[in-house]
Structure 1
């Protein structure tokens, strides 16, 4: 097996990444760092920190030169960071020593790496958002179509009371909708430029480092943090946390769908693949299982990343290296989950016959709560609950439907009306429609 499923040709279709995978390659990282070096030089040239003609030469070269990642392996191993080797290779490729001497002027490796990382994270969030919108489109359609489709709600894996399939879909979609709503603020607060120099003091960045940082932020269309965040990894943690919560929300969808497709329940059909190598009758819940696996793995990586946010002094190599190991896996996990969940949400369908059978099965005891409240209208509720518990025990022992026992012992209660799932769904249909309306509005550009 490959070192990472996200780098595997064999598992590429099982763990789909779309275009996000391109952003987490050596070549993409080098390209982003060169873009930052070029934009920085241009901003410095405009302020007279470096010669204007050198600034233009550096900015132009940053768009043109190609640097082989393999050539940076040795200096990266020696220095513990890739930028010294990158800067040296860039100067060499420029073939203009008079201009090249101003490459990487006054900054530190972390400024370049962190800013370049933000450029790639910005693209990743945009791509993940597109896939998230596709997921929500499918879920909104399902919720609206099946707002009134009754099914058994389950707590602790057992039948609880009736709900609607649309409301269950809404419970999957609402956290995703919240995550979509969070994106504008996340981008504003977390996609930040880093420009603070060797120890965060900006001592070699000219007479107005704050102005230079603002210029660089504007040139790269990133936010200006107005300070050094070398050891404050909050911007990275916010983005990683958003990605983790996305995979967890999609993992919840996967967990429920996998359970609802299992033998003996089969209340949902998936569409698509999932064949067994030896059992022709099976359609394995592959994508739901993938979503659960990604949620578990991403949550674990996030725990490690939280620990890595504790930096010592003004830069901490071990903490920073740990971030490099975890952050790509977290973002790629979110990207893979969002990619896979779109087709899943589009292909999901309820088996309404199976759902109806579940509501009438188990001797109708799913309606026990409604019966207890009906009896509570005539007597104290503790007494009503005790009566219903006794009736449920008798139903189990005698295998007689609860409705028949109600007709025998409480003929004044209309058992047919009371045991109607439509009567007991409460706010479930409204919840389904509320989610569908909210999702439709946001996907159309509303709030």
Structure 2
């Protein structure tokens, strides 16, 4: 993770995808595998217990060495399994044949990525909900506050800030529902063995998978999805939509916060949005993060789509490209969500400046046009629409989707 990725990302998600946590997630897979196999009679209980104890000792595994060895091995799971086998052999050579039985590297890595993604996306959803709720509150508070509506970057008529905020909130509320559902579908256990047949599990593969999914808190798969990446990429596309929706909001706020417009500004605090050269500046840094994500994320999503061409039963190249891209996507989107969730509740609204901008325009156009298109009273009709939209967004329960899920 380079410096510029880091400052555009959410610290909590950065921690989720840290190397040590990925090693821990791979060990969680190995532990759940041998536990489920013992329950199905494929592995002796004593060997299972020993392997689980070794897996639980994360400090015994050198994350840096595993990372260094992965380039030569072609997979981060290969040096991990090698280290696991070495430690099991040191404890009891008789347990060695039962390590990683019937699994393959991609099973370990895809499952670990799903486990970490579950944590990160739960955190992202919580922040997205906060952002949506802040906008809905803004919509109610300023339902009747007149503001210029602008089309093609020019004043077009009068609307209300409340309706503008409700329109900002609507796609976020929809994403709360669709992102949560996409995550539940995509974040599955991966277990197929070398070519997806679970051939070494003596017909007990589906039962082992069922137990593992329950143990790890992941969706039980219908089968191995080694090269069937549709649900995974659909989740990536949902993340891309979130970034685009937030980028639109950030763009509006950035334009409205320009000195010449002065209608809205992001909240201020010590060290936020300053300039190294000009002490008078107050930059909209949350909008900056969201706009940066909106610029970066489409390319990351495109990489995932391009990486779907995974040939035969296991991929050479596209899967590895997907693995490198996926955390970057989640981190960029969560950085945007967290930045906006932090700024939106404290947005500073200058209703007097909004009205002054309307009056300035009214004085420059014919009286008839001023009354038809730029009367502040038009905000009342927009305010009624804003209240209706807020009611619909709240009553369709979208904000309650995954409300009770605790980030892990």
Q: TM-score normalized by structure 2?
A: 0.90
Q: Distance in 1 between matches of 2:29 and 2:13?
A: 20
CA RMSD of aligned residues (A): 2.2
- Is the contact between residue 251 and residue 288 of structure 1 (CA under 8 Å) also seen in structure 2? yes
- Is the contact between residue 192 and residue 223 of structure 1 (CA under 8 Å) also seen in structure 2? yes
- Paired position in structure 1 for 2:406: none
Tell me whether 1:247 sits opposite 2:246 in the alignment.
no
User: Could you tell me which of 380, 388, 402 is aligned with 2:366?
Assistant: 402
- Is the contact between residue 355 and residue 376 of structure 2 (CA under 8 Å) also seen in structure 1? no
**In the superposition, relative to structure 1, how do residues 158 and 65 fare at CA in structure 2: closer, same or farther (>3 Å)?**
closer
CA shift for structure 1 position 70: 2.0
User: Could you tell me which of 247, 258, 264 is aligned with 1:262?
Assistant: 258
- Paired position in structure 1 for 2:343: 344
- Paired position in structure 2 for 1:20: 13
User: Cα deviation per residue 1:142-173 (whole Å; 9 max; x = unaligned)?
Assistant: 11000111111111100111111011111211
Q: Distance in 2 between matches of 1:276 and 1:111?
A: 48
- Is the contact between residue 275 and residue 284 of structure 1 (CA under 8 Å) also seen in structure 2? yes
CA shift for structure 1 position 25: 1.3
What secondary structure does 2:274 align onto?
Answer: coil
- Paired position in structure 1 for 2:28: 35
- Paired position in structure 2 for 1:163: 159
User: What stretches of structure 2 of length at least 5 have no aligned partner?
Assistant: 404-408
CA shift for structure 1 position 109: 0.4
User: Cα deviation per residue 1:360-401 (whole Å; 9 max; x = unaligned)?
Assistant: 22346xxxxxxxxxxxxxxxxxxxxxxxxxxxxxxxxxx6x4
**In the superposition, relative to structure 1, how do residues 73 and 119 fare at CA in structure 2: closer, same or farther (>3 Å)?**
closer
For 1:43-62, what aligned pairs fall within 5 Å after superposition?
43-62=36-55
CA shift for structure 1 position 286: 1.8
- Paired position in structure 2 for 1:209: 205
Q: Is the radius of gyration larger for structure 1 or structure 2? A: 1
**In the superposition, relative to structure 1, how do residues 402 and 223 fare at CA in structure 2: closer, same or farther (>3 Å)?**
same
**In the superposition, relative to structure 1, how do residues 425 and 158 fare at CA in structure 2: closer, same or farther (>3 Å)?**
farther
User: What stretches of structure 1 of length at least 5 have no aligned partner?
Assistant: 365-398, 407-414
Tell me whether 1:122 sits opposite 2:118 in the alignment.
yes
- Paired position in structure 1 for 2:385: 431
- Paired position in structure 2 for 1:219: 215
For 1:318-329, what aligned pairs fall within 5 Å after superposition?
318-329=317-328
Give the total of aligned pairs. 395
CA shift for structure 1 position 16: 4.6
Q: Distance in 2 between matches of 1:37 and 1:214?
A: 15
User: Cα deviation per residue 1:92-121 (whole Å; 9 max; x = unaligned)?
Assistant: 223222113311001110011101111111
- Is the contact between residue 91 and residue 97 of structure 1 (CA under 8 Å) also seen in structure 2? no
User: Cα deviation per residue 1:403-426 (whole Å; 9 max; x = unaligned)?
Assistant: 1x68xxxxxxxx868853323664
**In the superposition, relative to structure 1, how do residues 164 and 424 fare at CA in structure 2: closer, same or farther (>3 Å)?**
closer
Q: TM-score normalized by structure 1?
A: 0.83
- Is the contact between residue 264 and residue 348 of structure 2 (CA under 8 Å) also seen in structure 1? yes
**In the superposition, relative to structure 1, how do residues 73 and 132 fare at CA in structure 2: closer, same or farther (>3 Å)?**
closer
What secondary structure does 2:149 align onto?
Answer: strand
User: Cα deviation per residue 1:220-245 (whole Å; 9 max; x = unaligned)?
Assistant: 12112211210011232122122221
